[in-house]
Each structure stands twice: as structure tokens, then as C-alpha cells.
Amino acid sequence: MSSGPSHVLVLSQVEGSANVVPAWREFIGPADIEEARREKPESLRAQYGTQTLFNAVHGSEDIDQASRELAFFFPNFRTASVTEQDGEEERVERTLALIRPDIARENREKILAQIHESGFTLALQREVMLTEEQVRQFYFQHVEEDYFPALLRSMTSGPVLALALARTGAVQHWKNILGPSDVNKAKEESPECLRAQFAVENEPINQLHGSASHKEAEREINFFFPKQQTLAVIKPDAMEEHRERILEEISGSGFSVTQLKEMVLSREMAEEFYKEHREKPFFSQLVEFMCRGPCMMLILTKENAVEEWRAMMGPTDPEQAKATCPNSLRARFASDILQNSVHGSSNEQHAEEKISFIFGDISSDCRDHRKRYQWYRD
């Protein structure tokens, strides 16, 4: 599954037709290729599969699995009704979960396992050190409460693990699993809940956070996982042979390409683009390389776009990339440090500057967005 790009599709049923999940599974045929060829010779797997492991296509087994898989690949996707309870529609939604520093160090894997067992898809994840100002901003409604000093101390004592969890009824389901916010009450009334299980001795603050409502979930997810823009460049060495593959993988990784253009950099433009490297011994060679053929410039938009694009590229040195991030773009497509296929901004401010340089001035909304979330910068 990691050997090349996959095409991930959202299929919906035509009104009045059969349920889309069993209809698609009928269309693709049995997972076992020999069984498919024997019993469903017209199915996709019979026609295009080569063996059980390489059976060409995948399909969700049921509505619940479909919801989890949709949330995994398309975290912002909103389905129509997927289940009905008491006549009310349920939708795939997201909620924010925080694992506070005191238990994040030792118990994160246990908690993540319980999250998975509870039917959640982990749509987004990041670990972040919060300042006092950031905690006050996030918990602005609690600043005047008696317990806030303890909460502030807890939240700034180490890295916080922030998670965006997705499933049907995610907000309420996560609240149910967490249990009461008061630790003593959680232990007495719901000893199996997460807050009771992972309470810290002599610590009055519970160790896990969950969004209180759908509205709060979106605000809190946006706080920890803001939409960002970053500049991506497909360099001359990758343009001819790897461009389409890289573009497919960009799309498949959930980035939106806001703007795109192909251009040949003049020497003056290349020197200005890489001006921060002007005093480096490789500067002249880098400029010459970047001017030798067309580049593709892209503005990519996604939650955590800067960090995620840098992770997707891998280390600057392809040899290091092969050793530490073998599935990264540079590990697979780069030939050396100079001809390393792709470029990405190092932080959000750098991204804004380079986007403005290549595409012209960005909107005031983008500038305001960057200021609001400046604490995410490297």
C-alpha cells in the first residue's frame, strides 16, 4: 500500500438504489482472487487482482467502518446520514482530545489503544509545548475558576498530545468515555472511565480533555490544527520524470493546491529566493541548478501544512532520508543534496514571504491567520 499512489474515492448511492456499502462490495467481489474468479468472474477483483494480498480494490465492510475510513482519508468530509437512532440522523464528526503532560509521557500508547478500540479514527495528531499565554487563550472560559492555577501548571509542565478524533457522534462518545470532569466523582461513579483510570495521585486536575459541544470541537481543533499555507516547489531535477507522481501524492495526502504555476527562474529570482543561503559555499551552485530548467511552484493548504509538507519531503540529504524516512519524496526521487527534487518553507512566516515573492501579495486574511497562530512557528 505504500509502494505508490492509491486512488481514494468517496462513493454515494443514487436515490432509490440499494445501499452503497453492500452494492460496492458486490461489485468488487470476494477478497480471495480464486474465489472471485470462480464465483464472480465479472467482479473487479476477478478481472484485475493478481493474488489475495494484491486484490486491486478495497471496500468498507459496513457503515461504521465506512465512517471511520472516510474520516481517516477525508477528515473534513461531512456525510449524509450514516446511521439512525430514535429517528435522529448521526453524522461523522470530529472532536478534540488532549492528553495532558503528566500521563502523556508514560500512558499515551494505552490511551491511544483504547481510543482505537472505541471506534475512533485518529484524523490529526500533534505534540506541542504550550506557554502560559496559550493555555489562557485556549481555556479563556476557565481563567477565573479556583482550579485554573492547577490547570495552568499541569498544561505547561511538558508536551501536550493533541488529537482530532473522528467517528459518528464523536463529541458525545468521547465525553462518555472520559467520564466526569471531577476526578473523585469519576472514581466513585465511573471507575472504568479514562479519567478515573489515568488519574494522577494528589493531582486534582483530570488528565484528559474533550470538547464540550460540536461548536467547541471545531474551535478547539482549529486552535491546535490551524489551516496553513505553505510553498512547495518541484525542482528541475524532478520535473520531467516525477512531477505527476509527486502531484498525485500531494493530492492523496489531503493538501489543497490553492495556486500553481510552472516557471523558469532567472538568476536574479533564484538568488532572491534563496537569499538566506547567500553566504553558504553551495549558494552559487544552488542558484545555477535552480535556473537550469522549469520548476513547478505550488501553494498548498491544509491543517499543519508547513509541518506536514516538510515531513512528506523528508530530510534534505537523500541518504539520510532513505535511512530515516524511506517513504518520503526525497528518499525515493532525489539523487543528492543539491538535486533533492522538492523544496518547502521552513515555517509559516517563511512560507508567507516566499508565496508573496512568487505569486504576489497574499490576502489580509492570510496575514491575520498567521498572526493569530504565530506560536506554531519553528
> Could you tell me if residue 75 is inside a domain?
no
The reply to whether 119 and 1 lie within a common domain is no
The reply to whether 329 and 352 lie within a common domain is yes
> Could you tell me if residue 152 is inside a domain?
yes
Per-residue pLDDT at 101: 94
The reply to whether 208 and 235 lie within a common domain is no
The reply to whether 194 and 236 lie within a common domain is no
Q: What distance in Å separates the CA atoms of residue 201 and residue 189, rounded to the nearest whole number?
A: 18
| Catalytic positions, written as ranges | 343
**Residue 62, C-alpha cell as written in the block:** 459496513
Per-residue pLDDT at 277: 93
Per-residue pLDDT at 364: 41
Per-residue pLDDT at 17: 52
The reply to whether 126 and 231 lie within a common domain is no
The reply to whether 366 and 251 lie within a common domain is yes
Q: Which residues of 335-363 are buried (b: 16+ CB within 10 A; e: fewer)?
A: eeeeebbbbbbebbebbbebbeebbeebe
pLDDT digits (tens, 9 = 90+) for 66-95: 777 776 776 555 544 444 444 444 567 899
- Between 369 and 321, whose confidence is greater? 321
The reply to whether 280 and 336 lie within a common domain is yes
Q: What distance in Å separates the CA atoms of residue 46 and residue 31, rounded to the nearest whole number?
A: 9
| Of 67, 75, 74, 163, residue with least CA distance to 115 | 163
The answer on pLDDT for 256 being more than 60 is: yes
Per-residue pLDDT at 16: 52
Where does the pLDDT of residue 50 fall: very low under 50, low under 70, confident under 90, or very high at 90 and above?
Answer: confident
Q: What distance in Å separates the CA atoms of residue 149 and residue 142, rounded to the nearest whole number?
A: 10
Pick from 226-235, 250-259, 349-358: least confident: 250-259
What's the mean pLDDT in 129-151? 95
> Which of 208, 224, 240 lies at the terminal end of a domain, its last residue?
224
What's the mean pLDDT in 11-35? 78
pLDDT digits (tens, 9 = 90+) for 92-119: 789 999 999 999 888 999 999 999 999 9
CB atoms within 10 A of CB 370: 20
Per-residue pLDDT at 10: 81
> Could you tell me if residue 18 is inside a domain?
yes
Q: Are 216 and 175 in contact (CB under 8 A)?
A: no
The reply to whether 233 and 333 lie within a common domain is yes
What CATH number is given to the structural domain containing 366?
Answer: 3.30.70.141
Amino acid code (one letter) for 3: S
> Could you tell me if residue 76 is inside a domain?
no
> Could you tell me if residue 83 is inside a domain?
no
The reply to whether 200 and 328 lie within a common domain is no
| Of 115, 192, 181, residue with least CA distance to 142 | 181
Highest mean predicted confidence (pLDDT) among 31-40, 181-190, 364-373: 181-190
Q: Are 235 and 338 in contact (CB under 8 A)?
A: no
CB atoms within 10 A of CB 224: 23
> Could you tell me if residue 370 is inside a domain?
yes
> Could you tell me if residue 202 is inside a domain?
yes
> Which of 178, 199, 224 lies at the terminal end of a domain, its last residue?
224
The reply to whether 8 and 44 lie within a common domain is yes
Per-residue pLDDT at 202: 85
Q: What distance in Å separates the CA atoms of residue 271 and residue 221, rounded to the nearest whole number?
A: 39
> Could you tell me if residue 68 is inside a domain?
no
How many independent structural domains does the chain possess?
3
**Which residue range(s) make up the domain with 218?**
88-224
As a whole number, the mean pLDDT across the chain is 86
Per-residue pLDDT at 91: 65
- Between 81 and 198, whose confidence is greater? 198
Tell me whether strands 256-263 and 160-168 are parallel, antiparallel or unpaired.
unpaired
pLDDT above 90 covers a percentage of the chain that reads 61
The reply to whether 231 and 356 lie within a common domain is yes
Q: Are 33 and 46 in contact (CB under 8 A)?
A: yes
What's the mean pLDDT in 297-320? 92
> Which of 18, 40, 59 lies at the terminal end of a domain, its last residue?
59
The reply to whether 117 and 174 lie within a common domain is yes
